[in-house]
Structure 1
Amino acid sequence: MRSLTYLSLLLVVPQTLALKAHDFKTCSQSGFCRRGRALSARAREAGEKWISPYTVDPSSIAIASHQATFTAGVKSSLYPEIKFGLELRVHDDGVVRVRMDELGGLRKRYDEAASWALISEPVISKDIKWTAGKKDIRAVYGAKKENEVVVTFAPLRVALLRGGKEQVVLNGQGLLHMEHFRTKTPEVTHTEEPEPKEGEEIVEDEAQVVVKSENPRAWFEGDKEDDWWEETFSSWTDTKPKGPESLSLDINFPNHGTIYGIPQHATRLALPTTAGESPFFSDPYRLYNADVFEYLASSSMSIYGSIPVLHAHSAESTVGIFDAVASETWIDVAHASEKSTETHWISESGILDVFLMPGPTPNDIFRQYARLTGTTVLPAQWSLGYHQCRWNYVSSDDVRAVQKRFDEEDIPVDVFWLDIEYSEEHKYFIWDKKNFPDPVDMVNDVAALGRKMVVIVDPHLKRTSDYPVYKKASELGYLVKNKNNDEYEGWCWSGSSAWMDFFNPGVWDWWISLFKTQKLENGWSWTESTEAVHIWNDMNEPSVFNGPEITMPKDNIHHGGWEHRDVHNVNGMLYSNLTSQAVARRSDPPKRPFVLTRAFYAGSQRFGAMWTGDNLGTWEHMAVGVKIVLSLNIGGFSYAGSDVGGFFGNPEPEMLVRWYQVGAFAPFFRAHAHIDAKRREPFLLDQPYKGIVRDILRLRYSLLPVWYTAFRETSVTGFPVLRPHYVVFPKDQAGFDIDDQYYIGASGLLVKPITEKGATETKVYLAEDQVYYDYFNHHAYRGAAKGKEITVPAALHQIPLFIRGGSIIPTRERPRRATTSMKKDPFTLRVALDKTGTARGELYLDDGETYGHEKGQFVWRELVAEKPVKKARSVRIASKDLGLRRPGEAVEGVALTAFDPGNAFAKSIGDVRVEKVVVLGLNAKPTGVRVEGGGDLVWEYTPGVAAGEKKEGTASVLSIKDPKVLVTKDWAIVIEW
């Protein structure tokens, strides 16, 4: 967010008003990136003559007692006096971890990024043995011995193979370079002309004569010290007290031609090239959390978050890598051929710590990555509803008035948000009593109708003695220090500001205590709050208005003596982590918190939601927002969305309607607007736009069982909530580049949001020989074995939404004001038969608020439509308890010993029933419809196209009225014809 009202701020930081390219570095303006790219250029020029200077010392190899880990010494022919250590581990799921560090150097390299990202130390395999030979050391593993990892000694090269084919190769191009720590050597100057010694030359200058020795390392490192010790960008100088310490590494995928991931960038899902012939972008992809105001809709520049995980895909397999580095990183992408991809990773600091994920399917990669960094949190159910926000609702009465209008217009909403103006002089936690004189009463008025509030708490603390949060943090030494080890002062919304150092363990419990709603005996807490208030963490890159690239200087100091350059990309994650814990632990017992973050890193998915930042109200930003959210889902962060309507601007009604359609099919669904934007709450729209948006919101709420069930799955498996085409159909090469349509979980729902002005129809790609039903009018479309593009209507009131044949969609159809009013509502089941006449779905329910589900307090049902063996002309639709399918085993993380189908939650919804069943694509008009073991049911049948037919047209529809079967019980409905 940005304001045009704070003239003092604007005079200090006019660059924050809009994106200006010169506010942010390009690779050529970043010393270590420039050096890394120059290294790559020298390697290309040398061709086959280029040989990496790094080699493994075979005599130093030590294999651990459990056999799956080995260590070895590594030498560089450039610097034989510098020692490096290599370690490889094979985890029990086949992931290979490769670590390399400088040993016994002048300083220690930062090696803690993985400790923040990983959920625990990975389990090492007990079945794998390394075999050392004269030229390499290798291990073969897998159920069929299909995987192999080979470490070549001279030069050092690491390869992961499957079926004898190389999948991932490290240092195959010889671009590995760990800049070792060194002492700055002052340049020798002379006032008199010296005599040159052997191997030296004299370079004359008007002011002095300098003697320079020949540099035998120039072929590799270059012939000059390029920003080794001090670096200037615009008006800022980075002192770089540790000197050069960057890490260069090429990671190549010889048999995979498409790559996805490394969010967050505003670009296509399948990443375009940045190197080689005719690159799409001229700069590498940058991972450096930054407040990139009004970011471009197509760019490789960094924006708010960084997840250094990459998927490489082909029709044969998928592999992945996770590079656990927290410093600024640039990644070049090139394609040596249509079937191979080369990447070059250049990081400013840190050790080499790369995880190789063998796949071989996309879901295997999701599972392997989730075992490393955790899964997307199972959110509170209310947080999947609609969120209404703007900068700013100006008073308590304004909030009440907005809520009243939503209810008068029968428009559902679950959350109202307050931006920075709720706080007194931007002292977060402290209410502006002039405009919010009764904050607790206001929150209670919202909560009385089953809703929540979210308020912003930014990381910058106003540096004033009358702000108890800052005063105590300063006294305790909890704030980030500048290069001189004094309290760092920067400029943000609060004016002169300081920043909490969340790397300091002493901060953790203290920060958590601030969110307590009860008065503390020894400390300050937020007593003017309630459990209905949740938190928005913005500006946590961190954004510093008068800092280099609108962030914190890299030579600032954090706990442990680490420079900000070492931890920059992790910084924002620690903030949302601690805030999430704080909101959960204010309740006894804890309740699921909602925390929205703007900055993030690998592992941030464990703590809440994210949004794509300060987007523009344009069609281009609407479209790229879909691609960014898909990329985040690939990167393990499913709980994501973009500001509906665009943060900036005043979208015309058509655009706003389309944006609501986009938002309704994103995991996180929030409308938001800049302080200078016109009010655009949906109830302010004229007809027919208001009615269309109301229908969109009601559709979102009716589908909440689908969204919640999808989130349950991602919370235990890591499979994304939004699934692009290649995830669902990994062998269909024609769909690898598709990023404007996607599936919602395993539900079978396929959506293509419209992001083009004036559209009345669109094309949708169907990858398989299967029937797809229009969700609204039941028109049956046919795919083809080799893929087929269909044209579908897409007028403003229409959303291209389809049910894949073979799916069962559970919904709740009664319009409600908020999710809390839906807890006892009955269900409708849409049974979309596939061409064989069968279907399947799932329904997951819990209380949506507590952690009772972790103790077995849930309902998890499998819904099936199957053909009884003895009677072919019938379909049996049934509900089964998934929790009892595998007695004695754990069901995706929940031990069955803790699960009781008659648990307290199940009993609390024991009378919730299915009120309607709609069967699409039935072969013929039924002769009877009955509950198994019960009586006949009331039904209506409309003839039409059957699922098994080859033709298209409106499908046959059987509507069964109120079968009175219960959601928590086993039951079956038999349809005969």
Structure 2
Amino acid sequence: MAPGRRRPLLLLLWAALCVGPGLAVDRSNFKTCEQSGFCRRQRAIPPGRSPYRALLDSLQLLPDAARIQLLNEATKVPLMLELRGLRGNITRIRITELNPPRPRFEVPDVLMDEIPAEPLEVLGRDGDTLELSLGPGGPHRLLVTGSPFRMDLLRGRRLLCSVNARGLLVFEHQRQRPHSLMDIGGWVGRAWDKISALFHRDPPQDAPQDPPSENGATNEDGATGGADEKPPDNEEEPGAWEETFKTHTDSKPYGPMSVGLDFSLPGFEHVYGIPEHAESLRLRSTQGGDPYRLYNLDVFQYELHTPMALYGSVPLLWAHGPPGTLGIFWLNAAETWVDIGSNTAGKTLLGKLLDYMQGGGETPQTDVRWMSENGVLDVFLLLGPAPHDVARQYGTLTGTQALPPLFSLGYHQSRWNYRDEEDVLAVERGFDRAAVPLDVLWLDIEHAHGKRYFTWDPTHFPHPRDMLRRLADKKRKMVSIVDPHIKVDPDYRVHNELRARGFYVKTKDGSDYEGWCWPGSTAYPDFTNPEMREWWASMFAYDQYEGSTETLFTWNDMNEPSVFSGPEVTMHKDARHRGGWEHRDLHNLYGLYVQMATAEGQIRRSGGRQRPFVLSRAFFAGSQRYGAVWTGDNAAEWGHLRISIPMCLSFALAALSFCGADVGGFFQNPDTELLVRWYQAGAFQPFFRAHAHLDTVRREPWLFGEEVAGLIRHAVRRRYALLPFWYTAFYRSHRHALPVMRPLWMEFPEDTATFAMDDQYMLDRALLVHPVTEQGARGVHVYLPGKDEVWYDVDSHQQHVAPQTLYVPVTLSSVPVFQRGGTVVPRQERPRRSTECMRGDPYTLHVALSPQGTAEGDLFLDDGESFAYDTERRFLHRRFSFANGTLTASSADPQGSFPSSSWLERVVILGAPKPSSVLLRPPGGPETPLHFQLEGPTLTLRKPGVPIGADWEIVLR
């Protein structure tokens, strides 16, 4: 704690709500599956016979879809199954109520433009099974079985995925609330008994098959179902119409409306994704424990290796193995639980038959079960077949990572909080004295006047524009926090406008929803309202956000939303949004909308010219289109350093490439070894920011002595030297949806040794990084993948042939990084204070030759801040290729044009034999001999001097 400063009262409240002894998360403040009524109900259903039957004779074959009615034989409620085969090997499965008494929430604003559908074709019917093609002449077929309902998706003769094979489809249909709780309990109890009975006994062979009602007739009690549905006097199903957790009661005016579905994945042992969890990259089986939970929550100093929900949710799961790569995207924004289990003995007859046909014995299988509180069933199967295909398919659906402004890929310095303007500028000067590059300084909640966002504390930050200009003079930027909880204060303009316009979230009774957060009594803007988002965006205009300039960017924290006084430290589920939707319908969307509106505000303030930078703690599918994310409130512990790698890899699989973790840990005080190792790891993660809690000691790099400062300086400078590589990788991610930071198996999909690795990873396709994450480490074991591939240590340039596990000795100054043979990595190696100071600096190309003596790479270059690369084609995209002893530079996209004063300073070729001469051949000019030097495996060519945007050849003879 800063000298003379008292801990804020609300911090004590937050700690009391969220943590237990030792300032670790208090799990009792967050629900388990057993405490979540719909999860408990669904999980109580054992695998078995499904109560659902597909009425195959109801098939409607439309130009872009097939529709088949489903019937719940317990309740006689009809559903509609809609199947679409989308271009690019994507299959969409939607299940909705055929005649709902009230619309169900369907997730908006996440999917991109409609993907063209392939025409479906009926290939045949064999008894109770219908066979459909998913596109003309394609390899994928879908078998739909009538009773019990299930679907099997095949590629050729291989079974890829079975849907409802375990009979766990649940669709709690809507019904009106009976007049008494006794009626409620009786009806729900009886319906549930009938459904459960179907899982435990065979129905009579001569039982009549009643068709669904054509007009969706309801019973006297308002239940949509068969004519014999009468509410008997049974005990109420707990949590069906009202649910209590601790001191909070959740009214459920529309009753139980959960949905669930199971997927069986034969041949797949490894599944990944569904961020965010503090978990290994490979997801564990949840048998015998809680499922993974997706429900955006403010969790204080989270524990590791638990399925507990954290700040963000992306319902995307990957499966990878010998069958290829498959993705399941579950488009639902309500609270969701995901069960994962392995299964080899419990396969269906079809699965065993396909095992036999494919010539193998019993193959492994992973079973995945999704359960959501509300909404419809809307699932996209991403059929790959390769990892890069699944990444592109998901990017086609939800968008790609926004191309960040170049400065945001540099180093960011933050803490809660820098005290005043002089403190900020003193820290900035300290970086210059220590010769540590810095691009951005951050301000947390204390900078605002009494936690009133869009304002500045008049005592500590009286001249914000002057402060920002002084930073800008040094080519640096600032980020200030703008949270989505608004202080209820009649003297606060932002609050008054929101209230006057009716833009706050409402309670179930129609008044403005209020809770407690950092400012005290707080209200919450309804970001689901497009008009509110328009207004919020307008607040970032320079004449609205007083003191702001074009070099001030934004951090959206606490946007789960965090409500200190709410259930599970978030908003009540029965709060109301625009259109009458309950918060339970769309909870996981809230944070995405906050970041969306903030990014739009930054774009508008510049007249549409400048790219935004917005960091968000909460996120959902599609958040990648609006900025960066981070792993939240971690701790200064070695375990938290280690977990940052699989957490960011999981983010990347969900298209959230711009991810990082608080360097040094948010809570607690790291020792110098941990701090140095965290800087080294952070320098090789996409978002690179140090951040710390207000009760931690100051930890600017120069405060620990020159030895530590030198180690940090070296790590940060390595980051800056690679900025051209980082920026190019982000451009590729933006254009082609490929993760910047990626698991090894994405590049080496057939190497089974990589499938469970998460302590090392690839950056783009060129660099393999293995951060040191063990205390006192003297060496690490690095696995070099790829049959007969060559890898080069980036420090020693020593060559290694894969596959092999290499023991790499380390000191406190080293972190193992290897360049893949066959790649070209561009660098800028002159130390500068910030990215803007590097403009016009020369480039060095590091060319690592493959065993065949070839290499390829590229460089993307633009102004680093505007949309002109897209709207005006103002960019350079250069391709570098080496073959037959010749390095060639050419345009990777001739449509781009950008004036650049940068030139080629050096070429470093790894794995080349010593030439007798080296010649530079500029187009239309005379050959020029180049000076070269060979040291061990490294050939260095000095000062070719050609413009980086020119075409040329360098020939080794």
Structure 1 and Structure 2 fold alike (TM over 0.5): yes
8 Å contact 2:85–2:134 — kept in the other structure? no
In structure 1, distance between residues paired with 2:196 and 2:165: 21
Equivalent position to 1:767, from 778, 785, 789: 785
Equivalent position to 1:316, from 314, 323, 334: 323
Amino acid of the structure 2 residue aligned with 1:526: Y
Please list, as runs of the form range in 1=range in 2, the aligned pairs for 1:866-877 lying within 5 A after superposition. Answer: 866-867=883-884, 875-877=885-887
Structure 1 equivalent of residue 611 of structure 2: 592
C-alpha spacing 1:346/1:957, structure 2 compared with 1 (3 Å): same
Amino acid of the structure 2 residue aligned with 1:227: G
Structure 2 equivalent of residue 84 of structure 1: 79
User: Given the alignment of the two structures, is residue 958 of structure 1 paired with residue 945 of structure 2, yes or no?
Assistant: no
User: Given the alignment of the two structures, is residue 559 of structure 1 paired with residue 581 of structure 2, yes or no?
Assistant: no
Match of 2:534, SS state, is: helix
Match of 1:688, SS state, is: helix
Please list, as runs of the form range in 1=range in 2, the aligned pairs for 1:614-625 lying within 5 A after superposition. Answer: 614-625=633-644
Report percent identity of matched pairs: 42
Structure 2 equivalent of residue 95 of structure 1: 90
> Per-residue deviation at 1:635?
1.1
Equivalent position to 2:825, from 809, 830, 836: 809
Structure 2 equivalent of residue 263 of structure 1: 275
In structure 2, distance between residues paired with 1:502 and 1:130: 44
Structure 1 equivalent of residue 220 of structure 2: none
Structure 1 equivalent of residue 224 of structure 2: none
> Per-residue deviation at 1:815?
0.4
C-alpha spacing 1:482/1:409, structure 2 compared with 1 (3 Å): same
Structure 1 equivalent of residue 65 of structure 2: 69
Match of 1:710, SS state, is: helix
C-alpha spacing 1:12/1:511, structure 2 compared with 1 (3 Å): closer
Structure 2 equivalent of residue 895 of structure 1: none
8 Å contact 1:937–1:960 — kept in the other structure? no
User: Given the alignment of the two structures, is residue 476 of structure 1 paired with residue 501 of structure 2, yes or no?
Assistant: yes
Equivalent position to 2:132, from 125, 139, 142: 139
User: Given the alignment of the two structures, is residue 148 of structure 1 paired with residue 158 of structure 2, yes or no?
Assistant: no
Please list, as runs of the form range in 1=range in 2, the aligned pairs for 1:888-903 lying within 5 A after superposition. Answer: 899-900=895-896, 903=897
> Per-residue deviation at 1:268?
0.8
8 Å contact 1:937–1:963 — kept in the other structure? no
In structure 1, distance between residues paired with 2:191 and 2:135: 53
> Per-residue deviation at 1:687?
2.6
8 Å contact 1:931–1:963 — kept in the other structure? no
8 Å contact 1:4–1:10 — kept in the other structure? no
Amino acid of the structure 1 residue aligned with 2:769: V
Amino acid of the structure 2 residue aligned with 1:912: S
C-alpha spacing 1:626/1:214, structure 2 compared with 1 (3 Å): closer
Structure 1 equivalent of residue 221 of structure 2: none
In structure 2, distance between residues paired with 1:729 and 1:751: 15
C-alpha spacing 1:848/1:75, structure 2 compared with 1 (3 Å): same
> Per-residue deviation at 1:182?
2.1
In structure 2, distance between residues paired with 1:322 and 1:189: 39
C-alpha spacing 1:934/1:36, structure 2 compared with 1 (3 Å): same
Query: CA offsets per residue over residues 633-658 of structure 1, 9 Å max, x none?
Result: 01111010000000011101110000
C-alpha spacing 1:943/1:699, structure 2 compared with 1 (3 Å): closer
In structure 2, distance between residues paired with 1:214 and 1:557: 29
Structure 2 equivalent of residue 10 of structure 1: 12
Structure 2 equivalent of residue 361 of structure 1: 386
Alignment: residue pair count: 890
User: Given the alignment of the two structures, is residue 406 of structure 1 paired with residue 431 of structure 2, yes or no?
Assistant: yes
In structure 2, distance between residues paired with 1:382 and 1:315: 41
In structure 1, distance between residues paired with 2:429 and 2:190: 77
In structure 1, distance between residues paired with 2:410 and 2:170: 49
Amino acid of the structure 2 residue aligned with 1:105: P
Structure 1 equivalent of residue 491 of structure 2: 466
Amino acid of the structure 1 residue aligned with 2:862: D
Match of 1:480, SS state, is: coil
Please list, as runs of the form range in 1=range in 2, the aligned pairs for 1:509-908 lying within 5 A after superposition. Answer: 509-518=534-543, 525-746=544-765, 748-768=766-786, 769-783=788-802, 787-854=803-870, 855-867=872-884, 875-884=885-894, 899-900=895-896, 903=897, 906-907=898-899
Q: CA RMSD in A?
A: 2.1
In structure 1, distance between residues paired with 2:464 and 2:42: 53
Equivalent position to 1:423, from 430, 441, 448: 448
Moved more, 314-323 or 370-379: 314-323
Query: CA offsets per residue over residues 37-71 of structure 1, 9 Å max, x none?
Result: 1013xx3xxxxxx321111223322211x2x3012
Match of 1:10, SS state, is: helix
In structure 1, distance between residues paired with 2:720 and 2:193: 68
In structure 1, distance between residues paired with 2:603 and 2:124: 50
> Per-residue deviation at 1:537?
0.2
What runs of 5+ residues in structure 1 fail to find an aligned partner? 44-49, 191-201, 203-210, 519-524, 868-874, 885-898, 945-955
Match of 2:893, SS state, is: helix
Query: CA offsets per residue over residues 890-919 of structure 1, 9 Å max, x none?
Result: xxxxxxxxx25xx3xx22x1x321011111
C-alpha spacing 1:13/1:403, structure 2 compared with 1 (3 Å): closer
Query: CA offsets per residue over residues 554-600 of structure 1, 9 Å max, x none?
Result: 11111111111110011110110011001111002420000000000
C-alpha spacing 1:74/1:213, structure 2 compared with 1 (3 Å): closer
Amino acid of the structure 1 residue aligned with 2:254: K
Structure 2 equivalent of residue 129 of structure 1: 121
Amino acid of the structure 2 residue aligned with 1:418: L
Amino acid of the structure 2 residue aligned with 1:248: G
> Per-residue deviation at 1:163?
1.6
C-alpha spacing 1:527/1:557, structure 2 compared with 1 (3 Å): same
Query: CA offsets per residue over residues 791-815 of structure 1, 9 Å max, x none?
Result: 1122110110111111111100000
Match of 2:933, SS state, is: strand
C-alpha spacing 1:846/1:725, structure 2 compared with 1 (3 Å): same
8 Å contact 1:99–1:352 — kept in the other structure? yes
Amino acid of the structure 2 residue aligned with 1:920: L
8 Å contact 1:580–1:593 — kept in the other structure? yes
8 Å contact 2:262–2:368 — kept in the other structure? yes
C-alpha spacing 1:215/1:797, structure 2 compared with 1 (3 Å): closer
Structure 2 equivalent of residue 242 of structure 1: 254
> Per-residue deviation at 1:736?
0.2
In structure 2, distance between residues paired with 1:92 and 1:808: 33
In structure 2, distance between residues paired with 1:107 and 1:943: 75
Structure 2 equivalent of residue 939 of structure 1: 931
C-alpha spacing 1:12/1:881, structure 2 compared with 1 (3 Å): closer
Query: CA offsets per residue over residues 395-453 of structure 1, 9 Å max, x none?
Result: 01111111111112211100000000000110001110100010111011111111111
Structure 2 equivalent of residue 894 of structure 1: none
TM-score (norm 2): 0.90
Amino acid of the structure 1 residue aligned with 2:69: G
In structure 1, distance between residues paired with 2:784 and 2:752: 13
8 Å contact 1:929–1:939 — kept in the other structure? no
Match of 1:534, SS state, is: strand
In structure 2, distance between residues paired with 1:121 and 1:827: 42
C-alpha spacing 1:499/1:220, structure 2 compared with 1 (3 Å): farther
> Per-residue deviation at 1:511?
1.1
Amino acid of the structure 1 residue aligned with 2:9: L
In structure 2, distance between residues paired with 1:348 and 1:498: 25
In structure 2, distance between residues paired with 1:140 and 1:61: 14
Match of 1:159, SS state, is: strand
Match of 2:946, SS state, is: strand
Equivalent position to 2:948, from 967, 972, 977: 967
User: Given the alignment of the two structures, is residue 167 of structure 1 paired with residue 122 of structure 2, yes or no?
Assistant: no
8 Å contact 1:168–1:356 — kept in the other structure? no
In structure 1, distance between residues paired with 2:191 and 2:318: 45
Query: CA offsets per residue over residues 934-958 of structure 1, 9 Å max, x none?
Result: 34434343353xxxxxxxxxxx211
Please list, as runs of the form range in 1=range in 2, the aligned pairs for 1:44-55 lying within 5 A after superposition. Answer: 50-55=48-53
8 Å contact 2:61–2:120 — kept in the other structure? no
8 Å contact 1:828–1:917 — kept in the other structure? yes
Query: CA offsets per residue over residues 688-747 of structure 1, 9 Å max, x none?
Result: 11101101111100100000000000001111001111101001111100111111113x
Match of 1:481, SS state, is: coil
> Per-residue deviation at 1:625?
0.8
Structure 1 equivalent of residue 197 of structure 2: 219
Structure 2 equivalent of residue 292 of structure 1: 299
8 Å contact 2:915–2:956 — kept in the other structure? no
Amino acid of the structure 1 residue aligned with 2:297: A
Query: CA offsets per residue over residues 53-93 of structure 1, 9 Å max, x none?
Result: 111223322211x2x3012222110111x221111111122
Structure 2 equivalent of residue 307 of structure 1: 314
